[in-house]
Structure 1
Amino acid sequence: MLVAKRLQKELVKLNEHTPPGITIVSTENFQEWLMDIEVLDGNPLYQGEKYRLKFVFSGSYPIEPPEVTFVKDATHPIPMHPHIYSNGIICLDLLDRQGWSPVHNVESVCMSLQSMLTGNTKNERPPGDDDFVRRNTQRPRDISFLFHDNSV
């Protein structure tokens, strides 16, 4: 029940004040939420686009990170970014078990992804995108990405 209690608190806070460019789409249950984000800084790569995020929460949230992916549908593309695969999987240390902290929440994840998109200047997918998408069988939260700061 810790998960439901935590998510209820997050939902109340988001309903009271949703940050600019973040929209609650669906929170019908405490296992899966849909959120839309927009990049508001005028980055020409993302101008006028809305991107849909799917959050899947395990029974261990907030100790473990939610599984967060971009979802493609008729009106929401997967953003082009060197850390976002064409199937919506996101390579971001915040979403990794090692990089996650229970102080993070749905709002901070959305804002981190907005920031990640804001700072992007490359209209490209990660290296090996086609191969990764074709061969990956793991859930996003179980993938062990090598982050630049880990390789030093």
Structure 2
Amino acid sequence: ETLKPPGRESFRVEGPRELRMIEASGRTVEAMFSDQQWYQPERSRFDYWRWSRGAAEVVLRNPHPFSVMTDIAFDLKSSDERKVVVRAVPKATADAKGVVLWSGETVHTLRGVLVSGVRLPPGDTVWKFETDKAAQFPSNGDPRKVAFSLRNMEIRIMAKVPVGETGKP
């Protein structure tokens, strides 16, 4: 009863409508997850998440011809103790190391993360989630090898970035 069908939801976008989407085309600011790196979305009454298959990427897409300033919040959880590093890598240089946005230990309960002042330029920005351990079978009998879950991701759009202003990638 407490479980709902997962649907497509792996993230939420908040903020002024004109910054969340382009009205004429219907294109929206979004987060994209590769099925090769992430399992399908899951949800309960209060939470939504995706388990990673190991190190994984989330592509943040800004359809606007201008940058937007955001705060990005999410929770991390794992069935073991592991370190996770989150890096922002511009799409054109996806092989580069990128800028570390957050680094820390995951825990069996939710670990809240808030990355403030993230500038999303037009197009795609890749966030790499790296972990120090390979995916493992959890102790709850789940037949999937998992590394960590990314939960309750919210992209909070604060403002249009004036030309020439910078922020975290």
* Same fold per superposition (TM over 0.5): no
TM-score w.r.t. the length of structure 2 is 0.31
| TM-score computed with the length of structure 1 as normaliser | 0.33
Question: Which has a greater percent of strand?
Answer: 2
Looking at CA atoms only, which structure, 1 or 2, has the larger radius of gyration? 2
More helix by share: 1
- Higher relative contact order, chain-length normalized (CA < 8 Å, sep 6+): 2
